[in-house]
Structure 1
Amino acid sequence: MAAPPFEAPVDGRQSEAALAIRRGVRRLLRARGFATVTELPLASGRRADVVGVNGDGALLIVEIKSSVADFRADQKWRDYSAHCDRLYFAVDADMPLEIMPEEAGLIVADSYGGEILREPPARLIPPAARRAVLLRFALAAADRLHRLADPGAASET
């Protein structure tokens, strides 16, 4: 018997366009060796759209922007850099790319995949911050897998 397909629960805050971008981003990152978790709460109280970690422990955060209005209304993205080695924006092909900040990487994606158009500047977050994000990532991923196997179980995340 085949395992049921898994998609993280949608909480209703994401538009169809944002969900399509998210799917493509996750496919792109998986092809590049990153495991991802969506909607990850961070120690700062922010919630990252997509967090990725690879086998070397490199951490990245992808902030999804589905429209110009979405980008202009949300300036909290700078707070994410304290929680990752690389910060990206992900947009669809209709977004005017010239408005996206140069200090972040840039991904263009749709529901089938994505492409990195610009890498962000290289940096490393402090070990304590890395540990905190990795623990949150691991706990969220394990909890989500548990809820998939046992939907009636209580949830911590």
Structure 2
Amino acid sequence: MSKNHLYKTRVTWTGNKGSGTMDYRSYDRDYMISIDGKIDIPGSSDSIFLGDKSKYNPEDLLLASVSSCHMLWYLHLCSKNEVVVIEYKDEAVGMMEEVEDGSGKFKEITLFPKVIIADKAHLSLAQSLHKEANKMCFIANSLNFPIEHKPEIKAENA
């Protein structure tokens, strides 16, 4: 039996400099992401699209969503399989293609998790659980492009 989970968010444009979208350069691309009971996240478009490079952009957030969803599933699967994770870091990379009309799409994302586990006897299992985490990840399952994994796993007692 499947279950549905509803999520709600508010995105509010904060970039009106007084004349709205009168022309392409008359407004900022800034916005605020708000979810009841959570800290607001200031966002903007990527700086190559006239956004504020100090703020998160939609592309950043998509990449972070894939990486964090994978990590959370991986940690869950490790816990279930008695693989003790001591440390987990990922430096994910995404490739987006922009076409002539200005539209575009992500072509791929590669995750580069660096994982430290407690026991070297679990290195092989810890490696294999990345594939399982990808199968389980809600975000990866919602996308129509490849998510690759190039994990580096070390044992604390190696």
Shorter-normalised TM range: under 0.3
Structure possessing the higher relative contact order (Cα contacts under 8 Å, 6 or more residues apart):
1
Higher CA-based Rg: 2
TM-score calculated relative to the size of structure 1: 0.27
More helix by share: 1
